């Protein structure tokens, strides 16, 4: 850690703090000695209220907005904290990374990012935003804390409402953009799949003629990418540049058969991957083949999926597939199709509601459950607020009852639902 003399404080900028490897923290409760506290204004709270708490815990500096009353040497004032974070972090990446890759889509962003990073970093130094840090807050914090002048920078870009993508892309000069798919995630805020496709496709505005990699199965996306020239496609359609032919599960692996640019490919992945995740993997492979980045089969076989996303847990009496991180109608169907391929004496689904889909939530859940009935022997619905009722579905209002099902049931158990319903937290605490 670089140590500052008192007289140097007044010269400090965010860029200098980054150069000196200070750690940036937005949660005052997690501050450690010498961290930089970033005071952000949110919908429910204002970080400026916790600046003094951060200093008491050992923070070296605090980044605040211009109106903050303290003028001490440890206070760094900027007109808008969030905009300044994006401005500084994007400038660092734009100036130093030779290839900037942006990834958006309704689902599969993190899996695509993980696959890309594993393939590319075996050839070129590669940075990727951590975990699911894909917002206007998470992206700059991830860059400031982890970027070390790698040649390739992979940036996961999530959106929730209209304008979010433009707010991100105006800062980053992308060389490559991925659109993994268009689904119903955030339908509550963007009103339709067409609206989602329109907002996601605005990532193209950051390309300046760079390469677009998109999912040709997403019909709503077609009109927004049609006129863009420099593009390659992946999906399940045989007229795509790369398409999935089939996949098969073995003891602890998934074998994937695909075709890219007219040539057959066969690769083995570690553990079980859902169909959706395999398509995310195919997106990364398609890009790598097109750009002539060597693909090492050993590296491929060691890729580890992000936790709680079709995560395989093998027990003595059953197999639990923990897919509790999040849910959409499309990701449910992908998981169902994948579970259908697994050989098992019985198949059980433990699910919860799908959030952020608006007023049609009951209609969507009915479609999901009707499809589930074709595959699963038993269906449990965790509904602590007692909002829903479905035929031939066992309702669970107490989450602790799920533990009994997991311990006593045989065969394959899929557990899936939106993050905020509590299934993800339950599985995390269960270990």
Nearest-CA neighbor of 107 among 257, 283, 291, 239? Answer: 283
Q: Is residue 3 part of a domain?
A: no
The pLDDT value given to residue 140: 98
Query: Do residues 90 and 229 both lie within one domain?
Result: yes
**Average confidence (pLDDT) over 254-268:** 98
Residue 158, domain CATH: 3.40.1190.10
Query: Do residues 106 and 14 both lie within one domain?
Result: no
Query: Do residues 49 and 113 both lie within one domain?
Result: no
Q: Is residue 35 part of a domain?
A: yes
The pLDDT value given to residue 9: 46
The pLDDT value given to residue 72: 86
pLDDT exceeds cutoff 70 at 3: no
Query: Do residues 46 and 25 both lie within one domain?
Result: yes
Q: Is residue 420 part of a domain?
A: yes
Query: Do residues 289 and 341 both lie within one domain?
Result: no
Q: What is the pLDDT of residues 341-357, one digit of tens each?
A: 999 999 999 999 998 77
Residue 431: pLDDT band by 50, 70, 90 thresholds?
A: confident
Overall pTM > 0.75: yes
**Average confidence (pLDDT) over 381-406:** 93
Residue 217: pLDDT band by 50, 70, 90 thresholds?
A: very high
Cα distances (angstroms) measured from residue 274 to each of 261, 266, 417: 23, 16, 15
Q: Is residue 306 part of a domain?
A: no
Residue 50: pLDDT band by 50, 70, 90 thresholds?
A: very high
| Number of domains within the chain | 3
Q: What are phi and psi of 270, to 5 degrees?
A: -75, 135
Q: What is the pLDDT of residues 144-188, one digit of tens each?
A: 999 999 999 999 999 888 999 999 999 999 999 999 999 887 777
Residue 11: pLDDT band by 50, 70, 90 thresholds?
A: low
**Average confidence (pLDDT) over 379-385:** 93
Looking at 262, 280, 301, the residue that finishes a domain is 301
Q: Is residue 1 part of a domain?
A: no
Query: Do residues 19 and 64 both lie within one domain?
Result: yes
Query: Do residues 236 and 172 both lie within one domain?
Result: yes
**Average confidence (pLDDT) over 255-283:** 98
Average pLDDT across the chain, whole number: 93
pLDDT exceeds cutoff 80 at 424: yes
Q: Is residue 417 part of a domain?
A: yes
Query: Do residues 193 and 243 both lie within one domain?
Result: yes
Q: Which domain holds residue 19?
A: 8-79
The pLDDT value given to residue 6: 45
pLDDT exceeds cutoff 50 at 1: no
């Amino acid at each position: 850690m670089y140590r500052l003399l008192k007289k140097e404080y007044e010269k400090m900028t965010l860029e200098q703090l980054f150069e000196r490897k200070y750690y940036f923290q937005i949660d005052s409760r997690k501050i450690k000695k010498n961290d930089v506290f970033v005071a952000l204004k949110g919908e429910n709270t204002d970080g400026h209220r916790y600046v003094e708490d951060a200093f008491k815990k050992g923070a070296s500096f605090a980044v605040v907005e211009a109106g903050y009353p303290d003028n001490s040497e440890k206070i760094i004032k900027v007109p808008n904290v969030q905009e300044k974070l994006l401005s500084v972090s994007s400038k660092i990446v734009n100036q130093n990374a030779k290839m900037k890759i942006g990834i958006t889509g309704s689902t599969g962003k993190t899996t695509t990012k993980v696959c890309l990073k594993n393939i590319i970093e075996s050839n070129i130094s590669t940075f990727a935003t951590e975990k699911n840090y894909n917002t206007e807050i998470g992206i700059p914090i991830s860059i400031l804390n982890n970027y070390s002048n790698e040649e390739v920078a992979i940036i996961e870009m999530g959106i929730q409402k209209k304008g979010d993508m433009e707010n991100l892309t105006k800062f980053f000069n992308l060389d490559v953009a991925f659109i993994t798919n268009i689904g119903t995630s955030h339908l509550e805020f963007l009103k339709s799949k067409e609206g989602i496709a329109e907002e996601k496709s605005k990532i193209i505005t950051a390309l300046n003629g760079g390469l677009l990699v998109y999912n040709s199965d997403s019909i709503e996306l077609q009109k927004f990418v049609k006129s863009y020239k420099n593009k390659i496609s992946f999906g399940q359609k045989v007229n795509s540049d790369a398409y999935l032919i089939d996949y098969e599960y073995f003891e602890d692996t998934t074998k994937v058969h695909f075709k890219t640019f007219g040539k057959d490919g066969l690769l083995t992945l570690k553990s079980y991957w859902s169909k959706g995740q395999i398509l995310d993997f195919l997106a990364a492979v398609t890009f790598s083949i097109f750009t002539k980045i060597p693909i090492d089969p050993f590296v491929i076989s060691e890729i580890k999926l992000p936790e709680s996303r079709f995560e395989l847990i093998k027990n003595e009496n059953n197999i639990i597939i923990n897919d509790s991180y999040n849910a959409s109608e499309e990701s449910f169907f992908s998981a169902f199709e994948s579970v259908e391929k697994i050989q098992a004496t019985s198949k059980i689904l433990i699910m919860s509601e799908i959030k952020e889909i608006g007023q049609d939530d009951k209609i969507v859940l009915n479609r999901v459950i009707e499809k589930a009935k074709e595959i699963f022997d038993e269906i449990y619905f965790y509904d602590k607020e007692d909002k829903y009722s479905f035929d031939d579905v066992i309702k669970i209002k107490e989450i602790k009852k799920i533990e009994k099902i997991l311990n006593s049931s045989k065969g394959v158990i899929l557990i899936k639902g939106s993050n905020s319903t509590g299934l993800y937290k339950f599985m995390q605490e269960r270990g």
